[in-house]
């Protein structure tokens, strides 16, 4: 998660475009669901997840500008060579001042949705924690865009919880545009930079109690090209997903988490859950450990197989499902007794979480390589504490079942129900 696409996250989003300049490491990452109704879903292999093809929106966390706290604003600058006036920025500012409608550009409606969802989630998590409060860290981007990282640390229930939203306007270099034309034939060849827009929301929560699982989600939207007179971009797509990472496995929790997101998927396409669940299991694979980060959820990227309105409705269904996915689990687990061995095991599993985020997560890696990036926001997803032990062997009597499902992902609920 880095923020723009882990994810993780904190925003986690320059999906395709951000990955392209790293040509030397470009892999056959399955990244598009074009003609979804008739074509099989691309199959990303574990090896492709280690490529440095990255996602930006999961790299800069942000949040609701109207939140009740008064944050300090940090100005983020890219190198001067990247600065170029973008007509869309001023046009969008004017549109937002006039008020959004159902006919407003999708980028502005997605931005507004992300900020509403962030406000709702942070308010509910504060209630669940009962003690901690989210710190609000607002930032502005000189080239256009803004964001807020919202982080709760040292709460009663949560060791660390972060929810971020970012809005980014920028320019794609010609080399990136040239490679993107393979997937977007409507994009014209050019020797000049091309404008892009990205917005997303990302969230990671690490509870104190080892019985309570870590959770992550992010949902994002990307546009490329100067909009036409009607505000339509040259190219656009959605991405996102959610996943659960327990240290102590309670199978009923995994079933609940998957059931809720499957219901959201099924309202829009009966194949979404099956395909995106498989994609999630493959994306969150840690090759050097031979195991997954957690018990999965869904993952999708470059989604443009339906109309923008249909996919926006789908993404909203997923985002709106989060509290129902996670809060009931936390209410059951947050006050359970645990031992020193349980806590030590949790810290070791968090070590795996850190390994994935720093070594394989596209959003985190891209964010760390981006000039002018906000490192604190990018690393917002990291737990406060983690542990590594030399040649540690897990207690299979206590955690054997968890290790089984991390090495061989389980279908937690039937696909056809």
User: Taking the C-alpha atoms of 123, 124, 125 and 131 in order, what is their torsion angle to the nearest 10 degrees?
Assistant: 70
Say if CB 288 and CB 354 are below 8 A apart: no
189 CA to centre of own chain: 30
Report DSSP state, residue 231.
S
For residue 189, what are the CA distances in angstroms to 108, 147, 176, 268, 370?
A: 27, 32, 11, 35, 24
Name the residue with tokens 């929301």: 201
- DSSP bridge pairs for 162: 151, 204
Report DSSP state, residue 322.
H
| Terminal C-alpha separation, the chain | 30
Closest by CA position to 222, among listed 117, 141, 311, 142: 311
Compute the radius of gyration of the chain from its Cα atoms: 20
Return d(Cα 157, Cα 160) in angstroms, integer. Answer: 9
Instruction: Concatenate the DSSP letters of all residues of 75-107 into one string.
Output: EE---GGG----HHHHHHHHHHHH---TTS-HH
- DSSP bridge pairs for 244: 215, 296
The token pair that represents 384 in the structure block: 């406060």
- DSSP bridge pairs for 239: 220
Q: Which of 216, 256, 258, 399 does the annotation list as catalytic?
A: 216
Closest by CA position to 20, among listed 47, 50, 56: 56
Return d(Cα 54, Cα 41) in angstroms, integer. Answer: 20
3: annotated active-site residue: no
- The residues annotated with a catalytic role in the active site are 216
């Amino acid at each position: 998660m880095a923020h723009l696409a882990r994810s993780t996250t904190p925003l986690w989003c320059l999906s395709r475009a951000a990955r392209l300049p790293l040509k030397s490491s470009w892999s056959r990452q399955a990244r598009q669901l074009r003609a979804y109704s008739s074509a099989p879903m691309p199959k990303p292999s574990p090896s492709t997840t280690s490529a440095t093809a990255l996602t930006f929106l999961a790299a800069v966390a942000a949040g609701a500008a109207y939140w009740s706290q008064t944050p300090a604003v940090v100005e983020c600058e890219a190198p001067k060579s990247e600065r170029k006036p973008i007509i869309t920025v001023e046009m969008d500012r004017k549109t937002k001042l006039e008020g959004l409608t159902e006919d407003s550009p999708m980028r502005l409606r997605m931005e507004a949705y992300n900020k509403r969802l962030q406000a709702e989630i942070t308010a509910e998590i504060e209630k669940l924690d009962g003690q901690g409060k989210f710190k609000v860290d607002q930032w502005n981007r000189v080239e256009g865009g803004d964001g807020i990282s919202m982080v709760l640390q040292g709460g009663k229930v949560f060791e660390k919880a972060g929810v971020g939203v970012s809005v980014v306007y920028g320019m794609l270099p010609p080399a990136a545009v040239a490679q993107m034309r393979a997937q977007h034939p409507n994009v014209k060849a050019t020797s000049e930079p091309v404008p892009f827009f990205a917005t997303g929301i990302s969230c990671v929560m690490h509870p104190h109690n080892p019985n309570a699982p870590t959770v992550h989600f992010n949902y994002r939207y990307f546009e490329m090209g100067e909009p036409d007179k009607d505000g339509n971009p040259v190219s656009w797509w959605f991405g996102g997903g959610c996943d659960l990472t327990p240290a102590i496995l309670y199978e009923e929790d995994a079933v609940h988490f998957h059931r809720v997101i499957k219901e959201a998927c099924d309202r829009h396409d009966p194949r979404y859950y099956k395909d995106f669940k498989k994609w999630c299991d493959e994306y969150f694979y840690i090759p050097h450990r031979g195991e997954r980060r957690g018990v999965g959820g869904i993952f999708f990227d470059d989604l443009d197989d339906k109309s923008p309105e249909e996919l926006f409705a789908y993404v909203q269904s997923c985002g709106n499902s989060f509290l129902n996915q996670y809060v009931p689990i936390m209410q059951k687990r947050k006050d359970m007794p645990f031992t020193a061995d349980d806590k030590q095991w949790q810290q070791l599993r968090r070590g795996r979480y850190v390994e994935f985020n720093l070594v394989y997560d596209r959003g985190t890696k891209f964010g760390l390589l981006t000039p002018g990036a906000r490192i604190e926001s990018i690393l917002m997803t990291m737990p406060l504490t983690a542990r590594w032990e030399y040649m540690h062997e897990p207690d299979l009597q206590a955690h054997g079942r968890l290790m089984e499902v991390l090495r061989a992902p389980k279908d937690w609920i039937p696909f056809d129900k």
